[in-house]
Amino acid sequence: MSRTFDRRSFLTHSAATIGGVAMAGTVVDGLLESVAGATVGISTAKPKLGGTVTVGLISDVPNYHIFNGAQGKWDASAFCVGNALYDPLFTIGINGSAWLPMLALSATPNANYTSWTIPLRQGVKFHNGDVFNAQTVVANYNASAADPTVGLAIQPIIKSVVATGPYEVVYNMVIPFSTYPSNLAEQQIAYMGHPTSFSPTYSGDPIGTGPFKFKSWQVGVESQWTKNTSYWRHDGAGRRLPYLNGINFKTIPDNATRNSALQSGDIDMILQQDGPSIAALEKMKGISVRTDLADARDPSVNSLICNTTGTLNQYFLWAGEFASTFGVLGVYDFLKADLYYSNQTASGTSQNSALALTQQWLGGTANGGPGLSSSQVSTIMTYLESGKSSAASPAPASVQNANFNTGVASGAINPSTLNWDPTLTNPLSDVTIRQACAMAINRATYFKVIDSSVGAVADGVYRKASKYYSNPGYPSYDPATAKSLVDAYKKANNVSSVGFVIDIVSGNASAQKQFAFFQQQLGAIGITVTPRPLVQSTLINNVIYGTYDCATWNQFGGTDPALNYVWFLSLPANTSVLAGGLSMPALPANTFIAGAVNFAHLGVPAVEGAMLAALAAPAGSAAHTSNWASINSVFAKEIPYLWLDITVTAWAAAKNVQNWAVSTAADGVTRTLTFDGGSSRWDQIWLS
C-alpha cells in the first residue's frame, strides 16, 4: 500500500444489482412504461443525426489525464463523463434484476461463487485503433489493485484477474460473491480504459472504446467530446451509434445556477440532486424533468456520518499509513519487516546480513520498502533483533494498542483551530451520544424544510419499498430522552459540555442551511456543534483518513446491497493475516477493526457475518435477502450514520432534447436502468 495516499475523492455508485448469468440475447426486456413517469425523455420517432448537446454537471475531476475506471475517483458527474468516453463490461437491466452484456458477453460462476469466467466481445477497438481484449481487462484490474484509493475498495473482494484466452478472463474472488458481475456493471472498475493512461505521470488524453472521443478538457470548467465514427454499437434498426456529433459537459457546482442555466437556454440538460432545486425544476416551463424515485434501485441516502471510534482510520493505522504524517507505526510495518527478514534468511543469507538488508529496505522505497524515518526503522529493528517477532506476536503490544486505543491515534477536531487534536475526545465515539443525536434530529422536519419534501424520510440503508426493508427500530424523534442521555454522559465523564465539529461543503448555500438546522436541533439537547466548511474533495479526504468528528454524507443504495460490502467491512483483530484478520493478539478477543473504506469505523461481528452469509448465498434466496436486511437493525442500534432522507436524482432537459432517458445493452434493443445513480449514457440522445 502506497504511503502517498491520493488526496482526492473516490466514489462509485455504491450500488449493485441482483441477477443471474446474462447471456447475450437471453434477457427479457423489462417494460419501461410500467415504471411511473418513465415515458418522460423517451421518443419512438426516427432519430435525427448530428448536433451537440451541452450538459450541466455538479463537479469535475482534478486530473483528466488519468481519468479512467482504474484510477479516477468517480462521483455521479464523473460517471456521466465516463459513459461518454468508456464502455463497461456489463450494464444493468431496467428491472434491476439482471446484468446485461456490453464489452463482456456473459458471466459464469464456479460452484461456490469464488471465481467468475467472463468471455469478452471481439471486434471492439479503442479510439486510437488498438484492440480491446483479455489483456486489456487484466491491465485495468492490475491498475485498480495498485491504485492507493481504488485498490482499497477491491482488494478485500478480488484476488486476481487472469486471461484464460485472447477473449476470456477469470475473476478470482477473495470471498464467495454470488452477485459479483453487478460490480462489473455499476462500479467504476467496470469501465475499460486504455492501459497507456495507467501511469500516474501520464499526460496524454484519456482513451476509451465509448461513443465519444476526447476533444478538450478545461478542468473545473468544461470538457468537450466528439462523435466516435467507428463506434462498435448499433441501435435496433441497425443505425451506428451515437446519434449526436458531440457532447459538452460544463461544471456548474451551484444548484440554483445550474437550474438557471437550463432555463435560460445556456445548456440543454442538467443533473440535480438537491431537493429544493428539483422542486423548482418541476415548476419550470418548457423543461422536461425525470427523477429516479420509481426506478428499480434503492437510492443513496443522505446522512451525517460519525467517527464512531474517535480515531484516525483504523485500517490505515494498522497498515502504517500514518507513519510519516502522524508518526504512528503500524502493526503491518512489523509484519512486512518480519516477512522481508524471514525471506532473506530462508534464501541462505546470514542473520547479520539479513538484518542489515532489512534495515536498508525499511528506510528506502526500493523493492516496496516503506521509506520509514531512522527512528522508526530503529524501533522495528530493535524488535526484530530481540527475536520476539512471530506470527503470534507480530508487533509489540504497545504498538498494537497505540494504533487503536491511545496516543495520537485518538483525537477529535479542535473547534477553535478546526484541526485534528490528539488531546481531545470525540463524544460521538460513545454510542449513547450518537443515540441522543438520532433522537434530537427531527427527520420529518428536515425532509420538509431542507429538502422541500422531495423523496422520503430515511431510517436506514433501504427505502421502505425495498425487499430488504423491515422496520429497523431506528430511534424516533424524542428530544427529552436525548437530553437525558447527554446529561448522563456529562456526569459519567465528568465534563460540563458536549460538542463536536460537523464538516460541510463550502460555498454551498444548501450546506449552510443544513448546518443551521443541525445546530438548532442538537443545541436543544445540550450539544454544541461547530461547522468546518471544506471543498468537497477535502471533506471526503478527511473522512477517508478519519480526521473528522462528523460530516454531511451521501452514499449507499442500489438494487442489491452487495456493492456496500467494502463500506461496511470489518476484520477480526486476533486472526492471522492469512486467515483474513489483522494479527493483533494484544487486543481483546472478538475485536473487529473497520476496513480501509469503512469510513464510520464501525467494527461489528454481526454485520460482517451477515454480509459474508449473504454474499455466499444464491442471488434472490432467502439467506441472501434476510442477511442483507439484518444489517439495518444493527445500524439502528449502533448509529454509525445519522440518517436523514433518501437522495433523489433528477435529470432535466430542454424540449428539443429527445430520447435522453433511454439506454440499451449491447444489442441496441434491451433496455437498461437509466439513470443509474445519476449517470446517463449518451449514445441514443438526439436533437429535434
In this predicted model, what pLDDT tens digit does every residue of 470-510 receive, in sequence order?
999 999 999 999 999 999 999 999 999 999 999 999 988 88
In this predicted model, what pLDDT tens digit does every residue of 432-469 receive, in sequence order?
999 999 999 999 999 999 999 999 999 999 999 899 99
Locate 45 and state its grid cell: 420517432
Q: What is the mean pLDDT of residues 533-552?
A: 93
pLDDT of the residue at 149: 81
β-partners of residue 438 are none
**Selection from 58, 4, 49, 18 nearest residue 650 by Cα:** 58
Give the distance between the most distant pair of CA atoms in the chain: 81
Examine the pLDDT at 41 and tell me if it is beyond 70: yes
Q: Which amino acid is at 679?
A: S
Q: What is the mean pLDDT of residues 220-229?
A: 97
Locate 110 and state its grid cell: 464456479
For residue 407, name the pLDDT band (cuts at 50, 70, 90).
Answer: low
> Which one has a higher pLDDT value, 2 or 53?
53
Contact criterion met (CB below 8 Å) for 280 and 615: no
Q: What is the mean pLDDT of residues 14-32?
A: 27
In this predicted model, what pLDDT tens digit does every residue of 151-164 receive, in sequence order?
888 989 999 999 99
Q: What is the mean pLDDT of residues 178-200?
A: 93
Q: What is the mean pLDDT of residues 519-542?
A: 94
pLDDT of the residue at 13: 41
* Whole-Å CA distances, 254 to 6, 257, 273, 615: 26, 5, 11, 39
> Which one has a higher pLDDT value, 642 or 681?
642
Concatenating the DSSP letter of every residue in 614-662 gives HHHSPTTSHHHHHHHHHHHHHHHHH-SEEEEEEPP-EEEEETTEESTT-
Contact criterion met (CB below 8 Å) for 38 and 290: yes
Class of domain 32-291+648-687: alpha beta
For residue 290, name the pLDDT band (cuts at 50, 70, 90).
Answer: very high
Q: What is the mean pLDDT of residues 660-686?
A: 89
Q: Which fold has domain 301-310+411-646?
A: Dipeptide-binding Protein; domain 3 (3.10.105)
Please report which residue ranges of 460-545 form alpha helices under DSSP H.
479-493, 509-523, 536-545
3-state secondary structure labels for all residues of 536-580: HHHHHHHHHHCCCCEEEEEECCECEHHHHHHHHCEEECCCCHHHC
Full-model pTM: 0.87
Examine the pLDDT at 355 and tell me if it is beyond 60: yes
pLDDT of the residue at 3: 29
Examine the pLDDT at 406 and tell me if it is beyond 70: no
Share of the chain above pLDDT 70, in %: 93
End-to-end CA distance of the chain: 51
* Two domains, one topology: 32-291+648-687 and 301-310+411-646: no
Domain boundaries defined on the chain: 32-291+648-687, 301-310+411-646, 328-398
Contact criterion met (CB below 8 Å) for 656 and 301: no
> Which one has a higher pLDDT value, 466 or 104?
104
Contact criterion met (CB below 8 Å) for 149 and 162: no
Locate 443 and state its grid cell: 427527520
- Angle (nearest 5°) at CA 591 between 587 and 596: 105
Order of strands, sheet of 52-57, starting from the edge strand that comes earlier in the sequence: 212-218, 222-227, 246-251, 52-57, 269-272, 650-654, 287-291
Which long-range CB contacts under 8 A does 533-537 form with residues at least 24 apart?
Answer: 533/504, 533/505, 533/506, 533/507, 534/503, 534/504, 534/505, 534/506, 535/505, 535/506, 535/507, 536/9, 536/59, 536/505, 537/7, 537/8, 537/9, 537/62
In this predicted model, what pLDDT tens digit does every residue of 545-576 receive, in sequence order?
999 999 999 888 877 889 899 999 999 999 98
* Whole-Å CA distances, 507 to 160, 250, 536, 641: 42, 18, 10, 24
pLDDT of the residue at 8: 28
Mean pLDDT (the chain) is 90
For the ranges 10-24, 552-566, 659-673, the maximum mean pLDDT occurs at 659-673
For the ranges 37-46, 242-251, 582-591, the maximum mean pLDDT occurs at 242-251
- How far apart CA 644 and CA 430 sit, in angstroms, is 20
Contact criterion met (CB below 8 Å) for 651 and 680: yes
Locate 148 and state its grid cell: 492507493
pLDDT of the residue at 5: 29
Region label for 353, one of left (φ > 0), alpha (ψ between -120 and 50) or beta (otherwise): alpha
DSSP state, residue 304: E
